[in-house]
Amino acid sequence: MDTATLSYFLLASVLLTLAPGPDIMYLLAKSLADGARSGVALAAGLASGIVFHTTLVILGVAALIQSSPVAFAALKYIGALYLLYLSFGALRDKSDLKLESAGTSENRFALYRRGILMNVLNPKVLLFFLTFFPQFVPADAENVGRQIALLGLLFALQAFLIFSVVALCAGQLRRILFRKKGIGRVLNITQGVVLLFIAVLLFL
């Protein structure tokens, strides 16, 4: 793969990552509510989900799911129900903002796992990569799987870096919001609404 192709791929990947979408919206809401460390943990989970999807594309599982309406629908509805569950939890949370609310490693691991599940249970992400990655693989490539693996790792890496920057910026803004009484409840509602919105998108 030549340098020009990689440059075009990275540019397209960065623009796609920065575009307003479910992942970055929830990442922003979560970082504002629970701090930068929580946001970075979530970002790591989302990036790991990209690696998972890339592996499925290489193995041909993505094409199999695309050809099976039942498998696609099952994965989509499971993902939507999981997001509805998270949305319900966020909407019920009436706690106020605390600067150390994301301080334990257990919480960060749970967020990392949540990021993975949010990505893995979204078949639309899988099908997107199935159509996106091959556009940057030369027709005469000797090892297509290796090329797609490289593209998947690059996409995951740049997504993690961008998401982490968003989380850090939101964490700084959170320190300002911390002075406002009741803002924690508002941010929890925001998280719940964002998750509900993502779940609805999966049903469409």
78 residue type, one letter = I
User: How large is the average pLDDT for residues 115-133?
Assistant: 91
**What is the band of 97 on the pLDDT scale with cuts at 50, 70, 90?**
low
| Residue 180 domain flag | yes
- Interatomic CA distance for residues 81 and 77, integer angstroms: 6
Mean pLDDT of 5-30: 91
Nearest to 171 by CA among 43, 34, 18, 26: 34
In a domain, 7, yes or no: no
Sequence-ordered alpha helix ranges (H) in 35-182: 36-59, 61-67, 69-92, 105-120, 123-132, 144-177
Range of the domain at 104: 22-203
- Tell me whether residue 83 is exposed, middle or buried, using C-beta atoms within 10 angstroms of its C-beta: 0 to 12, 13 to 18, 19 or more: buried
The answer to whether position 61 is within a domain reads yes
Asked, for residue 2, whether it belongs to a domain, the answer is no
Total of domains in the chain: 1
Q: Among 61, 170, 66, 164, which residue's Cα sits nearest to residue 115?
A: 164
> What does the angle CA 150 – CA 130 – CA 157 come to, to the nearest 5 degrees?
35
Q: Which of 98, 107, 88 is nearest to 33 (CA)?
A: 98
Residue 1 domain flag? no
User: Is the per-residue pLDDT at 101 higher than 50?
Assistant: no
For the chain, percent of residues with pLDDT exceeding 90: 45
The whole-model pTM stands at: 0.85
pLDDT tier, 67 (very low <50, low <70, confident <90, very high otherwise): confident
